[in-house]
């Protein structure tokens, strides 16, 4: 299947993946992990069990909201849009596709449009979030992996081709993809809005489920520092995969699991994709350098485990098949 023709002038301007909200079973343990180990900065902890965090370069109130609750789930993925008119256009678009929509009152944000995508994934769009003062030059506040900004989310999808088509119609552009030569179907796809390799990616598998969220870091050395810190501070078992360089995206990466098994990627060194004629790069499903340029396989957990979305049914993938696992 050829890559889908991108909608270059979408009717709405989604700027970037902005934030995510996760349920966690022990907020204090999560705070230790995200703030003390990873180095995220706490914007606010509410008395009703919400912890808002941002990365060093972010001026919006939060890119991560942790909510005390059980079981551990993902409750929403947020995107920032250009202005409030985009919200009305998006509302019309989702209604037109027969999907549930609604404007919601949400802390620290202006108007918020809540919708679900065709697989039930809860999304929210907004144009303005409370702005905090810059801290990117307060170097005494940097710690852990020195996270700089949210980069992307990655979802298990039961039908990657259909997911790409839908998000493409929202204006997301394909940058790289893996194709199964035998079936001609996409196995995984990376799509972007902000001019990097992705804001959202989809991988074939039981879904919809959140595979991971990712923060951008300065350089591979920040990731090596985190590995040294985690392995000698009681978080050895939370290291899942890496460090390595992805063939796809060319980014240097590390995957860790938080205390509730939510997966976080630290990521750097991908490339600029602002040109609308930036050609998507196609990878063969059997190319060993696709997932790790250096050939190291990912562990089974990485192919199979993910975070369910709140109240969303998980479906079997349209394309059957075993994920590629290390021998």
Binding mask 184-223 for a copy of itself (x = CB under 8 A): ----------xx----------------------xxxx--
Q: Is 132 in the site for a copy of itself (CB under 8 A)?
A: no
Q: Is the dihedral of CA 295, 263, 285, 272 positive or negative?
A: negative
Phi-psi group of 4: left, alpha or beta (phi > 0 → left; psi -120 to 50 → alpha; rest → beta): beta
Q: How far are the Cα atoms of 87, 208, 215, 248, 320 from residue 12, in angstroms, in the given order?
A: 8, 24, 25, 28, 35
- Options 236, 261, 304, 325; binder of a copy of itself; rule CB under 8 A: 236
Closest approach of Cβ 10 to a copy of itself, in Å? 12
Closest approach of Cβ 119 to a copy of itself, in Å? 27
| Residue closer to a copy of itself, measured from CB, 182 or 275 | 275
- Options 26, 35, 50, 59; binder of a copy of itself; rule CB under 8 A: 59
Binding mask 257-296 for a copy of itself (x = CB under 8 A): ------------x-xx-xxxxxx-x------xx---xxx-
- Options 51, 188, 227, 264; binder of a copy of itself; rule CB under 8 A: 227
Task: Determine how many CB atoms are found less than 10 A away from the CB of residue 23.
Answer: 21
Q: How far are the Cα atoms of 45, 105, 131, 200 from residue 242, in angstroms, in the given order?
A: 31, 39, 34, 20
Residues 73/23, Cβ–Cβ less than 8 Å: yes
Residues 52/244, Cβ–Cβ less than 8 Å: no
- Options 29, 82, 104, 184; binder of a copy of itself; rule CB under 8 A: 82
- Options 15, 35, 162, 315; binder of a copy of itself; rule CB under 8 A: 15
Residues 261/278, Cβ–Cβ less than 8 Å: no
- Options 35, 99, 224, 315; binder of a copy of itself; rule CB under 8 A: 224
DSSP state string for 98-165: T--EEEE--TTBSSEEEEE-TT--EEEEES-B-B----TT-GGG--TT---EEEEEEEEES-HHHHHH
**Within positions 18 to 47, which residues make up the interface with a copy of itself, using CB under 8 A?**
none
Helices and strands: H and E segment counts in the chain: 5, 18
| Residue closer to a copy of itself, measured from CB, 202 or 252 | 252
Binding mask 242-261 for a copy of itself (x = CB under 8 A): -x-x-x--x-x---------
Q: Which residues bind a copy of itself (CB under 8 A)?
A: 8-9, 15-16, 57, 59-60, 80, 82-83, 128, 131, 134, 136-140, 148-149, 194-195, 218-221, 224-225, 227-233, 236-237, 239, 243, 245, 247, 250, 252, 269, 271-272, 274-279, 281, 288-289, 293-295
């Amino acid at each position: 299947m050829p890559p889908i023709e991108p909608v270059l002038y979408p009717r709405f301007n989604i700027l970037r993946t902005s934030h995510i909200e996760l349920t966690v079973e022990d907020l204090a343990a999560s705070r230790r992990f995200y703030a003390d180990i990873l180095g995220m900065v706490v914007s606010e902890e509410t008395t009703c069990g919400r912890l808002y965090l941002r990365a060093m370069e972010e001026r919006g109130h939060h890119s991560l909201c942790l909510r005390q609750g059980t079981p551990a789930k993902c409750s929403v993925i947020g995107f920032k849009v250009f202005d409030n008119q985009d919200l009305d256009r998006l509302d019309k678009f989702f209604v037109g596709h027969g999907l549930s929509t609604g404007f919601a009152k949400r802390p620290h944000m202006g108007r918020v449009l809540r919708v679900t995508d065709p697989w039930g994934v809860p999304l929210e769009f907004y144009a303005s979030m409370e702005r905090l003062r810059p801290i990117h030059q307060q170097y005494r506040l940097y710690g852990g992996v020195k996270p700089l900004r949210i980069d992307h989310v990655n979802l298990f999808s039961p039908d990657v081709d259909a997911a790409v088509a839908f998000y493409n119609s929202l204006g997301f552009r394909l940058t790289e993809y893996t194709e199964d030569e035998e079936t001609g179907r996409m196995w995984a796809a990376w799509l972007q809005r902000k001019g990097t390799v992705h804001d959202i990616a989809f991988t074939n598998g039981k879904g919809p489920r959140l595979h991971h969220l990712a923060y951008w870091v300065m350089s591979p050395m920040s990731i090596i520092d985190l590995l040294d810190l985690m392995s000698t501070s009681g978080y050895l078992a939370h290291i899942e995969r890496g460090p390595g360089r992805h063939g796809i995206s060319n980014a240097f990466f590390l995957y860790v699991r938080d205390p509730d098994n939510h997966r976080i990627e630290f990521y750097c060194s991908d490339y600029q994709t602002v040109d609308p004629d930036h050609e998507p790069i196609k990878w063969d499903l059997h190319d060993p350098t696709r997932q790790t340029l250096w050939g190291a396989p990912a562990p089974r957990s990485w192919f199979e485990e993910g975070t369910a979305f709140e109240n969303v049914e998980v479906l079997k993938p349209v394309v059957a098949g075993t994920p590629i696992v290390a021998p």
